[in-house]
Structure 1
């Protein structure tokens, strides 16, 4: 069995699927923030100063830890971006 088949089998379990989707959303947020920050040419420390949040908060988000919409909105504004939340 390859990984894709294994994952599809596991996703039939509602509890696993819920946890998988939650972790995927956090990872997608981490990747999006890291990309936007780097595209803007900012270090974590520089973004933290502009957004008025601790640098450790940015580091936590970029490694996939959970955060609030308020914090993501502050970071988006500091990057000159608009935060978009999509329920798909």
Structure 2
């Protein structure tokens, strides 16, 4: 386990209420990577991609920065607009 994973594990032990926040941050970062990779695969700028999927550029920018709390619904909307499918995997 990495030092950050150890820290998070210990922090959750001491503060169980923080678990949901860590989960949201993890989801935000995963979404950040997925949306950016999708946009780059299409060879678009954030502005072009935002117009393509019908969302404000600021939304795409915040998702890619990992600073927006994203929902599966929002990711699905963006994926559908980009003619992609969302596949959920539980691990």
TM-score range, shorter chain: 0.7 to 0.9
- Conserved 8 A contact 2:27-2:70: no
Counterpart position of 1:53 = 55
Please report the TM-score for the alignment, with normalisation by the length of structure 1: 0.77
**Structure 2: which 5+ runs fail to align?**
none
1:80 aligns with 2:86: no
Which range moves more in the overlay, 37-46 or 61-70?
A: 61-70
Deviates more, 1:27-36 or 1:78-87: 78-87
Given the two structures, how large is their TM-score scaled by the length of structure 2? 0.75
Is the partner of 1:21 in helix, strand or coil?
helix
Tell me the equivalent position of 1:7: 8
Alignment of 1:1-40 (within 5 A): 2-12=3-13, 13-40=15-42
The change in CA–CA distance for 1:70 and 1:21 in structure 2 (over 3 A counts) is closer
Structure-2 change in CA distance of 1:24 and 1:40 (3 Å): same
Deviations 1:31-57 (A, max 9, x none): 111111112211111111111111111
Does residue 41 of structure 1 match 2:43?
A: yes
- Give the alignment's Cα RMSD to 1 decimal: 2.0
Question: Which 4+ runs in 1 deviate beyond 4 A?
Answer: none
SS at match of 2:70: coil
In 1, Cα distance between equivalents of 2:72 and 2:8: 29
- Total equivalences in the alignment: 87
